[in-house]
Amino acid sequence: MSNELSELHIINIPRADKGRWVAASRAVGSDLATWAMTALNEAAKDALKDAVRPAWTRSLTGRTADCLVKYGLTGKREVRAVFADSDFNWQSIPNFGPKCNDEVLKWLSK
């Protein structure tokens, strides 16, 4: 997953929905963008928790595969590129410990 920032534009939002979202973000002391990213990330996590793991993760343990997929990686080639990046720190992947890291490094060497 890239750490680059991007933009998201949502059109045709009912005014009442947008008003509720702004009010909710203010209620938790946040700006709308930060609140929306948190809400969308939680919704994505919930939606993907029971998803079938992609074929490229087949030889990995469930935990390691889930961590990589939830981090946003979409294939072995992308995992290889991310892990090869000198700015990347595997500890930035949530719930991805040293055993997962060792497993991925062995997997990438095959």
- Do both 80 and 37 map to the same domain? no
Q: How far apart are CA 67 and CA 48, in angstroms?
A: 11
Which amino acid, one-letter code, is at 13? I
Q: Are residues 39 and 67 in the same domain?
A: no
Q: How far, in Å, CA of 41 to CA of 35, rounded?
A: 10
Q: How many domains does the chain have?
A: 2
Q: Do 36 and 21 share a structural domain? A: yes
Q: Is residue 79 part of a domain?
A: yes
**Does residue 101 share a domain with residue 60?**
yes
Give CA 108 to chain center in angstroms.
20
Contact predicate 49/62, CB 8 Å: no
Calpha distance 38→51 (Å, rounded): 20
Answer whether residue 8 is part of any domain.
Answer: no
Q: Does residue 18 have a pLDDT over 90?
A: yes
Choosing from 48, 65, 89, the residue where a domain stops is 48
- Per-residue pLDDT tens over the stretch 26-81: 999 999 999 999 999 888 888 877 777 899 999 999 999 999 999 999 999 999 99
Non-local (6+) Cβ contacts of 75 within 8 A are 54, 56
Please tell me the predicted confidence (pLDDT) of residue 8. Answer: 85
Domain that holds residue 84: 55-108
Specify whether 97 is located in the same domain as 71.
yes
Phi (first) and psi of residue 16, to 5 degrees: -65, -40
Q: pLDDT digits over 77-98, tens only?
A: 999 999 999 999 999 999 999 9
- Let me know whether 62 and 33 are in one domain: no
The pLDDT value recorded for residue 3 is 65
Residues 65 and 22 in one domain: no
